[in-house]
Structure 1
């Protein structure tokens, strides 16, 4: 429907534009012959109608010809993908087009105006000596044709630029969507490997616990599958997944990992990217020394409307206590929804703080 409305606007513009153009041409011709004082008395005269008709015929001819040139020699052979450049078509380069189109427009103007003006003077005005008038008509309409060609070239370049920009934005969005999918699925491989190792160690000694372990592990993968095409979920659902993850991790760490929630009821209904908290908890567990003498206490709390993950800073020796968290993938996933919302890790000798962006869905 929108494209149909644009076509109707262009159609009306094609019929309306020759009127002001014809009047301007008539005024310019009067100025050349120094007879502008005749304009008020001859405003609705035959000469004005002729200039309007000539303007309409010329502009329609130029529009048809220039559109045909654009189809035969398009600005680009194909729209670029991502960071690729547009491939020009051999035959008419961009620089040559800027010069060639106005010249072609001028040539078409002379070819159309000359016979039409000649017919008008011979048949209507019955005048045989009109060389001066013919030169003036060709000069004024030539200027109109050149301006028309320049405007056509400008709008063509602008339209192609918009198409290229749109394609690049589309490819960028596709890349962000890919980062989002990678982030939501990155918890799977390592968790599966560790989960199977733990399952092997308990399957014979504690069959009932092994059955429950399998159920909890399946919940995580079911959650990932159910939310693989979902951009945001409620924080409440994400916390349920985190508790399931902690159950699996505590099998290996002998219940030395604890999760404390200091959240408001309102915050539970705010939105978060699926698996954000789970990925951070798993990364934190992998980076921290955990045993019965040094348990890991994780606290999720709300401060100034932001969600924070807080724990004691007890990094493994291999990290030297200064290794940076690699948040590029998770931040790219958040950039897909909002560039301003990024994760930040602040750590000192005692505590580790990670802010987790929350989103609110506005109801229309």
Structure 2
């Protein structure tokens, strides 16, 4: 759609044949010489009209390319008349020069004003038609581009809503909690009640955060402790969560929960070994550190945090990143201030 059809080689080759023939017929009609068609339709004048059509159409096509690259004037309303007038004037100059050469060298006399006016009027019209085609193509391209951009934006919004809904519901955690609850209800009702409390605390936060852009890390950390207690009922490692220092920052709701859950799920299951998670504070960021023992199929890397990284890009120029610093794997998260929410 972006490339105008007048630049297509086949159009450039065939179009002047038809337009030149049409110009020849039109001139015969204007001069009341239509009877000459029976005598010499394929005369020299026809070839001259076709040649002029090639000249003017190639010039008009090149002028479109040149003006598309020409940055002055920047205003479209100013650029349009400049392009129209200059294209027509130069086209008249080319036609007049070609007519003088043909009449003087072939016919042996100078063309009169009427003949020049007829030829220039018709071929100027061809130049204007090229300009109109270009403008209509540009407007149509802009309209279609805007529509496609809106469709892509709507699609991204739907995908974002779906991902947000999936992260809020978290079906894996939901079913694992319910399955463990069903088992514990028969075996240990008190433990089942505690599991239910941890489960409700996590899900109450996950479902209630959708109207909040940023939350204090202390609030997220409280729910994180509920999450680690909930995972203690599942067949994963025992989890130890330690916070070094008194963090004072804001986070995207659910981001720390998602990171920790993905770390837990990417770690080899073992009832005998503990997964130690520690949160450290730096000047412009804070980090989660642990000694990794990852499963062969589900390694935790930068790609696993693509959705969280996308969320943080809205609030900070610093990226969420995962890197290895022997023997620790570190997830670095930028600090956010409450002023960052003013972007919304």
Tell me the TM-score normalised to structure 1 length: 0.52
2:275 is the alignment partner of 1:296: yes
Structure 2 runs not aligned, ≥5 long:
31-110
1:362 matched residue in structure 2: 342
Task: Name stretches of at least 5 consecutive residues in structure 1 with no aligned partner.
Answer: 1-74, 77-85, 115-130
Q: Distance in 1 between matches of 2:312 and 2:274?
A: 35
Partner of 1:191: 173
Residues 227, 172 of structure 1: alpha-carbon distance in 2 compared, 3 angstrom cutoff: farther
Aligned to 1:362, the other structure's residue is in SS state: helix
Alpha-carbon deviations, 1:255-299, whole Å to 9, x = none?
64324254542x23xx42x43221221121123357786432222
How big is each residue's C-alpha offset from its partner over 1:203-248, in whole Å with a ceiling of 9 and x where there is no partner? 24543443343243234334444445x5843253543432331221
Instruction: Give the structure 2 partner of residue 325 of structure 1.
Output: 300
> What's the secondary structure of 2:174's corresponding residue?
helix
Aligned length: 248
Change (3 A) 1:152 1:333: farther
Distance 1:345 1:329, change over 3 A: closer
Distance verdict in 2 for CA 1:337–1:163, change over 3 Å: farther
Structure 1 residue 156 displacement after superposition: 2.5
Counterpart selection for 1:243 from 225, 236, 245: 225
2:187 paired with 1:210 = no
- Kindly report which structure 2 residues correspond to 1:111-130, keeping only aligned pairs within 5 A, or say none: none
Distance in 2, Cα, partners of 1:172 & 1:335: 17
What residue is the counterpart of 1:350 in the other structure? 327
* Separation in structure 1 between the aligned mates of residue 160 and residue 244 of structure 2, nearest angstrom: 26
Q: Secondary structure at the match of 1:245?
A: helix
> Which residue does 1:305 correspond to in 2?
284
TM-score where L is the length of structure 2: 0.54
Give the superposed CA RMSD. Answer: 4.5
